[in-house]
């Protein structure tokens, strides 16, 4: 069963990123030992891949629900696509925060920021940018910039950010991502690509104890669920989804 968020889109996913200031260890034994510990806790994550500048552990992507973990030079990222519950969506990320610091000798001073992303993909065969423009801007002062029926809209990808703390160390971003078209604005390349709506929360360091990572992550999830429910869904996701439906 999909989460309540997943029921609103074609794909819903929860990603995290632990951004570091220094390079991670790159020796074979350290990397493989961490990934093996992750695999033991998440048995479906049994596919180890090496990309340019990245080590990845993944579950089978032929399934609608899958998980992934990626180690880069200065970051650790993980994701859960189409989780069955929000508790499940967070489990891998918490496991990463519990295991990675000790296997990879991550210090509190090393933490640059912790990021949580909620992603909502909406299938759309129509022109992505025209859909987003009509849904969000057509009847606003900003919409007057592009209101000309004889000209084709090429790029509408709004992003809005705000502070959630007085110190400015906790931030939230709302973003709409349309897919790349040809130079002439043809949308044929994007017919199978979704419009994505993102909610990203970021908590900047420093932190005082590496054990705080899970607690900080829990704070981010609370803010994210509230912002997604009260702001992103009614003001971004629903209007775009309605215009996709009316365009078919």
Q: What is the pLDDT of residue 188?
A: 54
Q: What is the pLDDT of residue 143?
A: 80
What pTM does this model have?
A: 0.94
Chunked into runs of 10 residues, the chain (248 residues) has average pLDDT values of: 86 98 94 97 96 95 93 98 97 98 95 98 93 92 76 89 96 93 55 91 95 97 98 97 89
**DSSP run (H or E) holding 102:** helix 86-103
Q: What is the pLDDT of residue 32?
A: 96
Strand order in 111-123's β-sheet? 47-51, 54-58, 66-72, 75-81, 11-20, 111-123, 194-204, 170-177, 159-163
Hey, what domains does the chain have and what are their CATH numbers?
A: 6-247 (3.30.160.110)
């Amino acid at each position: 069963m999909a989460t309540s968020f997943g029921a609103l889109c074609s794909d819903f996913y929860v990603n995290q990123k632990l951004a570091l200031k220094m390079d991670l260890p790159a020796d074979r034994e350290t990397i493989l030992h961490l990934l093996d510990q992750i695999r033991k806790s998440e048995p479906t994550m049994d596919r180890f891949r090496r990309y340019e500048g990245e080590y990845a552990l993944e579950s089978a992507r032929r399934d609608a629900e899958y998980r992934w973990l990626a180690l880069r030079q200065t970051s650790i990222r993980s994701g859960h696509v189409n989780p069955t519950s929000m508790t499940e969506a967070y489990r891998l990320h918490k496991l990463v925060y519990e295991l990675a610091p000790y296997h990879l000798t991550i210090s509190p001073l090393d933490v640059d920021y912790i990021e949580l992303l909620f992603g909502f993909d909406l299938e759309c065969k129509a022109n992505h940018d025209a859909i987003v423009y009509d849904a969000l801007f057509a009847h606003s002062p900003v919409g007057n910039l592009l209101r000309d029926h004889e000209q084709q809209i090429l790029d509408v990808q709004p992003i809005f950010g705000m502070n959630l703390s007085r110190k400015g160390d906790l931030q939230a971003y709302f973003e709409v991502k349309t897919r790349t078209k040809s130079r002439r604005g043809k949308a044929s390349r994007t017919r199978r690509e979704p419009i994505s709506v993102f909610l990203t929360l970021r908590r900047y360091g420093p932190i005082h104890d590496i054990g705080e990572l899970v607690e900080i992550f829990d704070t981010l999830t609370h803010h994210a669920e509230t912002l997604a429910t009260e702001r992103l869904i009614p003001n971004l996701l629903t209007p775009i989804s309605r215009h996709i439906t009316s365009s078919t």
